[in-house]
Structure 1
């Protein structure tokens, strides 16, 4: 990537050189230009001098200081030999602008002083110098110099903006990765609690089957089937847990309390802090606890965003549609969430997508056509076989 950028920069520098040198060379080499020279020797000398003055400009954009030095040396040789000024001597102004635009202030200051000296020497050699003539020439030189300084300032400003934008993009990506990692760690901790609950249930059921096997064979058989069913659920959750980073929570002991699920959705909606209703279509059946936890957290985050960004008098509707192989969760509100700016540093939508993706689902969110905001989650739901 960076190699392509460097190659493009090199090609751009050559193009910039050619765009300036080509038209200047055409204008300076017109056959009608050298009227002060005797033909044909005068024309030959004119062409040679013009080429010598324009040759350093072939690298004026890529190497402005050597280009300026080359033009200055040729101009000094021209002055020392007593050859009069030609149109190609304007190359010194082009090189001056390049030094001011591309180099440091120290180099540009030295270049403008050398150019001013050249203007004075030219007036002394080929004309009677007056204050007005020198002032006019100096104004032209200083104007070119200031234009180069402005171009340099503008270029540095744009480069600063690009650098800040690049850093902002990197920081945004880094924050998103950190948020995703933190959310995966949180999901892993919660799935750990779900698996621990399944294992504790298996232990209790196995102990009950061991006590009842001699006196109540039917009860022991039901307990063993419950152990088998719970073990399959725990195995499914463990498969999802593998590969998810889990951070230690300290020296506290494990918590075997089950995480909230669909049974707690009604309490969640009632305590959301905004007027909200729950509508359930279809029979959820026996869903894995991990799926129930994901649904609960998605609804919780959606209602939290409604409370934060919905504005006054906002209402929400939580819809749960249960189909044969898909569970659809839709949370809508009629507030100002579509117009309000996102909370600084918030990654709620990212967390919802992470949770849904763990079970092969997806989450979409955005403003509603009639106003308000909508969060829509679709999760495939493998049914837990009944005992």
Structure 2
């Protein structure tokens, strides 16, 4: 009986010598990971079975012959449930705790009792903070009972402090693993969300750019082709009666075509770096409306332009919008009104707004029923593009017949952003 006491006391401090097994349950990150081709990838079940296998080997430690069958059974009950610890952490913790309770009742100290700490770590790593604290309290109570039963000579404090330290370490490692996993999942979700938002913004920017280029091409091509068609008709009509006028019309057609090419290169210059025409020719603005009126007069549409207020301080983009609005309105007048029609353009510039009025004296043909209301006579995108340009500055475009005859287009652009509040 006296010889067995030192051996039992030595076995009572087995948890202190088994700290390396707790460390084996914690995944250690290598400083320099191996290349993907050289990493050893094991099936999850096989990887989870490595630690229980090590615990099963501890049953081979020397012990009394009568204790060996009981030790084998208890070691198996403590170690084997750990194979499924990641799939059912709470159930495995309950099974291991129950086996440890039976071990305490039978009075058989085993190194495999470390399975309780591994189960505690798994619960803390896969459960909430409350579950981790409850599991830690259960294991701490078991550690106190184990020290009371298996320590001799009043040596209770040192084993209890060692076991308490391991309980705290296992709980802290598990909580840290869970926190790290949650943070990584949140970062991955945020990265995926940011990537999705970036792609969405890119798609919206591409769609907006396509819309802008479509409007520019529509205004440039429609206007210049309409002028060239009108000039060509005039040249054909005057080629026999007035060769000089026919020659002047043909020269005007050539100039209009060159101007159309220049405008197209300038509008598409943003798509190609180093486009010379985009830098050499400034964007058209309010100052170029007189030249536009002269071009339309040569095409057979007498046009008068009146500009009230100073426009030199207006942004270039706002002036381009005004120019395109007037150009599209006059192009529609040239296309849809008979000979003898006159047009008038009135631009009023103030500190924060620009008012655009384009009127003509010619009647419009009946609008087809298939054309949406408010889009002007005949199919096309002219009025729709004008509405989009005006809406970019908070304006609302009005287009329709005038009470005294003719057609009018009116809008007001808000340069200071006040149009949003006004339109709301």
Matched, 1:88 2:116: no
SS at match of 2:63: coil
Aligned to 1:156: 182
User: How far is 1:291 from its partner?
Assistant: 4.0
Structure 2 segments unaligned to the other structure (5+ residues):
1-39, 279-424
In the other structure, the counterpart of 1:127 is 151
The count of residues paired between Structure 1 and Structure 2 equals 236
1:53 to 61, 69, 78: 78
Which residue of structure 2 aligns with residue 136 of structure 1? 162
Q: Which residue is equivalent to 1:97?
A: 121
Per the normalisation by structure 2, the TM-score is 0.47
1:193-231: CA deviations, max 9, x gaps? 11222332233224404532552589769979998x999
Distance 1:29 1:296, change over 3 A: closer
Distance across 2 between alignment mates of 1:89 and 1:162: 38
Secondary structure at the aligned position of 2:163 is classed as helix
Distance 1:219 1:100 in 2: 95
Whether the aligned pair in 2 keeps the contact of 1:210 and 1:220 (CA below 8 Å) is yes
2:231 aligned residue (192, 205, 212): 205
1:36 aligns with 2:10: no
Q: Is the 8 A contact 1:260 1:293 kept in 2?
A: no
Instruction: Provide the residue aligned with 2:136 in structure 1.
Output: 112
Contact 2:121 2:170 in 1 (8 A): yes
Given that residues 122 and 174 in structure 2 are in contact (C-alpha distance below 8 angstroms), is that contact kept between their aligned partners in structure 1? yes
CA contact (8 A) 1:37 1:46 kept: no
| Change in CA separation of 1:60 and 1:73 when aligned onto 2, cut-off 3 Å | same
Per-residue deviation at 1:303? 12
Root mean square deviation of aligned Cα: 3.9
Tell me the distance in 2 between the aligned counterparts of 1:101 and 1:32.
31
Deviation readout 1:149-181 (Å, 9 max, x if unpaired): 222222222223222222222222122112111
Greater RCO between the two (CA within 8 Å, min separation 6)? 1
Q: Quickly say closer, same or farther: Cα 1:27–1:77, change in 2 above 3 A.
A: closer
> Deviation per CA, 1:244-271, whole angstroms, max 9, x where unpaired?
xxxxxxxxxxxxxx6783xxxxxxxxxx
1:67, distance to aligned residue in structure 2 (A)? 1.6
The 5-angstrom pairing of residues 258-337 of structure 1 reads 261=262, 290-291=264-265, 293-295=267-269, 298=272
Normalised TM-score (structure 1): 0.51
Alpha-carbon offset, residue 91 of structure 1: 0.8
Distance 1:57 1:22 in 2: 10
Q: Distance in 2 between matches of 1:83 and 1:158?
A: 44
